[in-house]
Amino acid sequence: MTKLKAWRPIPAAGARLPTEHLPSEGAFPGLDPAWSRLVSAKTVPAMARTEAGASARVPDARGPAVTHTFHVLDTGPVLAERGITPTGTILAVHGNPTWSYLWRRVIAASLDRAVEGQAWRVIAPDQLDMGFSDRLAHPEAPAPEAHTYRRFDQRLTDLDGLMDALDVDTTVPLVTLGHDWGGVISMGWAMRHTEEVDAVITLNTAVDHPTEDHVPAALRAAMAPDVLPLSTVETEGFLQVTLGLADGGLEPAVKKAYRAPYTSRWGRGGIGGFVADIPAQAEHLSRPVLEETSSQLTRWQKPALLLWGPQDPVFQDRYLADLVERLPHAEVHRFEGSGHLLAEDRDISTPLFTWLSDHFPTPGAAEDPRAGLRSPAPAGEVTRLHDQLEHLTMTWRKASPAVVDMGVAEDADRTVSWDDLAEKVDALAVGLSELGVSPGDRVSLLVQPGNDLTVILYACLRIGAVTVVADQGLGLKGMTRAVRSARPRWIIGATPGLTVARSLNWPGQRISLNVLSGRQAKLLGTVASVERLLRSHSGRRPDAVPHPAPEDPAAVLFTSGSTGPAKGVLYTHGRLGALVALLRQQFAVKPGSSLIAGFAPFALLGPAIGATSVTPDMSVTKPSTLTAVAVAEAALAGEATMFFGSPAALRNVVATADQLTQRQRDALGGIYLVLSAGAPVHPVLLDQVQELFPEAEIHTPYGMTEGLLQADISREQIHEAMTSGPAGAGQPGVCVGRAVDGVRFALAPLDAQGRAADHLVEPAENVGTLGEIVVSAAHLKEGYDRLWHTDRQSRRDTHDGLIWHRTNDIGHFDAEERLWIQGRLQHVITTPAGPVGPGAVETPVDAVDEVARCAAVGVGPIGTQAVVVIVEPEGSAKRLRTGRSPLARPEFARTVREASEVPVSAVLVLEKLPTDIRHNSKIDRTRLAEWAAEVLAGEKVKSL
């Protein structure tokens, strides 16, 4: 056990900080003195464990029962003054070395909402020896057996005494809330009062630490016996380091407020005591209580919410994973980019009180409007993906190609037949299952699209494992964030991927794609290889493994990250099945179809929709590397009839068409369907693509990671929409067509500030209205993974009895019920004349001869923004600029202004517009808006 060494005597037990240090008007930012009170409470001696393991009442060092004074922030008196009866109570417990000031924003938010009828009383005590509560005596040379610091079990009984003294109403819901060691203390108290406590909420904390594991390095130094007193009590070292963990740093006044109770070594005694009470070792006196709490949590069936800052160097994601395993029903929200001081880094009040209102609606309120919601019926018959693969194997030519991988060496086996694919999937499913991969286990796939990845994916689907797909387009930083967010139990990868996983310490047991040498396997820490599992289980079928149910999770697919940290999108087997049924129907996939997939999700879905999947020779992280020759060779090898490529890929295919031989051109002539999605595709580019694929119908379906297909339109229909019909020639935005079968659209109109309304309206009754596009379909995501509040915000739940998903895209519908996309909600330009979508400006400007593509952004205060157009020109930017300035030459700026129906204030020229790395197509308008503002302000700006 860590001992507290060389502590000098401090005042006797019961001493408090001088009352003039207590919260007063304006003393601590955000803290109202009306919340502050001193409460005397009798603390009952704790239960301790004897060496034999039995529970026995042991006397406290200061007597069998002691009355202490707690400093408490409590909204009970404030609510009483307002004549409001609390609808529930939140007991908020701080950790080390903070105090109840940590919860000031939650307290303020609770009172703001009390006016609206959600009147939660918040009780936030300073734990003894902390904040402005009583200080305890710490002798100069305490022995471990003297119990001279506050132990875990004692802190639980402290809360007993305090709650008794406050006479808390137990007829209304009681919820615990904690952070740091206050998190485990609050949950430990809840486990001892399971009849009274109705829900638990915690920020970063830990309820278990395996004794064989090292304590996180950030904490290890402070726990060293010779260092502990110096770093925690004699100096402000521990305090200052903790306060320095806030994202972007704390404001000086806020930092001063946190330091206020701890400016003397006497005031910091409890900080050292808290560190000494960390039960990392098996023999620690507080270890039994920690184990009791962690064990009891596994039996907790009431609501639980976990709010987490993943950049915490102490309470790392492994502790969140442990909590999720103990509380599998808990709702989780990870705030990417935030860390230990989550309550300072982010707004936790909004998700917290939204969650409480969901689980504890105000008495007398109407029935939860989300109850009994449904999705529209799927477009076709839904089958499990693995069942579909088996059906195709039995009914089609077994020897015909199922998967063709053009990315492997020419002398390698590029083709896998349907029969071989089914046999390999079965064998690997058996092998993975016997290795220990269980239903529900998450498996991160670090394998390039192609034959191997297809086998692995379908084997995982068969045994009910959840595949995690975060492609290389996110970059190492983005992939690391994604993998740690999903927290896979297994990683299957080729050597490059496993090398990265090992070096960056990604979670999960590692399985190599190929057999490795003993030395390589040891270096990479692998436990098996796919190659050996296939060989040793060849011919076996996973008959003993139950098939997953439609509601079981199947995959976590990460978004592009072009509008913030990539989000994990959770799909169930049923929702993936509905997607497959839709794709087969919408694009008339029939036996003999073959798909060239320049986009990973479609490569993996190929076998499920009944099409031979051909992976072209290209870099999956750079779609623009796809050449016309690569597409033609893929068409020849797979006898392709369909081709899917992103807009960036199509541009390069057109640009490299002059390298094609006649034989290769003939191969492209056999393709009858070309699909492109991920970003708007200019009609001129579509016309150029049509010349390369003369027999093909060219479609630009509209969708997203959250629902890969929502609307569809052909090249001819785009021209028709742009030049004739009710829409008219000047219709702004990009027309993406009408809703496909099984999809319902609605609209959330925008207000003058560019905000989407809470209510939804029908498109047919609101022609031309600019709003956020909202969609409902059977093949939409199940939810966002471990982003409870993001998922909650993305759902519109009260329209027509359906589950609705906010797309974050803005646009409008015309009289023909066609959808016109004008950009993203966060990119709305709020002009004095009203909100404008970027597409309303970009579509006509893109048609100007000198323009390759452009971006329209807003500069200035919300509601009065000026429209600025940044142009990427065809050819050199110098000829369109004014000298060395990015400002466009007057004559070119005039041409741009004349093309736009929306008034344009300024035109800038860039050699190349910044884009996301996944699609190479989505323009980074946020960066451009910041850059444009600096340029127009006359500041010296860096090049993008």
Residue type, 658: D
Question: pLDDT-derived band of residue 943, with 50, 70 and 90 as boundaries?
Answer: low
The SS3 of residue 183 is helix
The CB density around residue 236, as the number of other CB atoms within 10 Å, is 19
Element (H, E) at 56: strand 55-57
| Side-chain half-sphere CA neighbours of 272 within 13 A | 35
- What is the pLDDT at residue 3? 34
Q: Between 305 and 914, where is the model more confident? A: 305
Position 404: which residue type? V
Does position 542 have pLDDT exceeding 70, yes or no? yes
Residue 721 in this model has a pLDDT that exceeds 90: no
Buried b (16+ CB within 10 A) or exposed e, 869-885: bbbbbeeebeebbeeee
Please report which helix (H) or strand (E) contains residue 93, including its range. Answer: strand 88-93
Does 857 score more than 50 pLDDT? yes
CA atoms of 616 and 208, how far apart (whole Å): 48
- Residue 220's pLDDT is 74
Omega before 861 within 30 of 0, i.e. cis: no
Quick: pLDDT tens for 628-645.
999 999 999 999 999 998
Confidence of residue 914 (pLDDT cuts 50, 70, 90): confident
Count, in order, helices (H) and strands (E) of the chain.
31, 40
Residues 301, 302, 305: CA angle, nearest 5 degrees: 110
Does residue 62 have a pLDDT over 70?
Answer: no
Domain 829-944 classified CATH 3.30.300.30? Answer: yes
Share of the chain above pLDDT 70, in %: 88
| pLDDT (mean) for 26-38 | 91
- CA–CA dist 898, 869 (Å, integer): 12
User: 791 and 707 in contact (C-beta within 8 Å)?
Assistant: no
Residue 618 has pLDDT above 60, yes or no: yes
* Inter-residue contact 231 to 206 (CB < 8 Å): no
Averaged confidence pLDDT in the chain: 87
Reading phi first (left if > 0) and then psi (alpha if -120 to 50, else beta), residue 26 is in left
- CB-CB contact of 335 with 343 (8 Å): no
d(CA 582, CA 248): 46
Model confidence band, residue 524 (pLDDT cutoffs 50, 70, 90) = very high
Phi, psi (deg, nearest 5) at residue 57: -75, 120
> What pLDDT is stored for residue 620 in this prediction?
64
What pLDDT sits at residue 16?
55
Q: How big is the CA angle at 369 (ends 364 and 373), to the nearest 5 degrees?
A: 150
Q: Which position has the token pair 């406050």? A: 166
Report pTM: 0.88
Q: Is the pLDDT of residue 212 over 50?
A: yes
Q: How confident is the model at residue 145 (pLDDT cuts 50, 70, 90)?
A: very low
Burial tier of 160 (Cβ tally within 10 Å: 0-12, 13-18, 19+): middle
Structure tokens at 250: 């704390």
Does residue 920 register a pLDDT over 60? no
pLDDT reading at 877 higher than 70: yes
| CB of 256 closer than 8 Å to CB of 30 | no
Residue 216's pLDDT is what?
77
pLDDT tens sequence across 356-379? 999 998 765 544 545 567 788 887
Of 740, 820, 807, give the one whose Cα is nearest residue 774: 807
Cβ atoms of 276 and 3 within 8 Å: the answer is yes
Is residue 576 over pLDDT 60? Answer: yes
C-beta separation of 880 from 909 below 8 A: yes
| pLDDT recorded at residue 10 | 41
The CATH homologous superfamily of the domain defined by 19-359: Alpha/Beta hydrolase fold, catalytic domain (3.40.50.1820)
Banded model confidence at residue 2, pLDDT cuts 50, 70, 90: very low
Higher pLDDT, 189 or 610: 189
C-alpha closest to that of 653 among 680, 636, 674: 674
Query: CA separation (Å) from 157 to 185, 323, 640?
Result: 10, 24, 72
Provide the edge-to-edge strand list for the sheet that holds 466-469: 526-529, 509-512, 490-493, 442-446, 466-469, 553-558, 568-572, 783-784
Q: How confident is the model at residue 17 (pLDDT cuts 50, 70, 90)?
A: low
Q: Same CATH topology for 19-359 and 712-777+800-827?
A: no
**Class for domain 712-777+800-827, per CATH?**
mainly beta
Q: What is the pLDDT of residue 102?
A: 98
User: Residues 279-285: what's their mean pLDDT?
Assistant: 86
Question: What 3-state class would DSSP assign to 446?
Answer: strand
Strands 120-125 and 66-74: antiparallel
* Contact predicate 125/40, CB 8 Å: no
pLDDT of residue 144: 40
Which pLDDT band holds residue 810 (cuts at 50, 70, 90)? very high
Q: Show me where the domains of the chain are located.
A: 19-359, 712-777+800-827, 829-944
pLDDT at residue 58 above 90?
A: no
Q: What is the mean pLDDT of residues 737-763?
A: 94
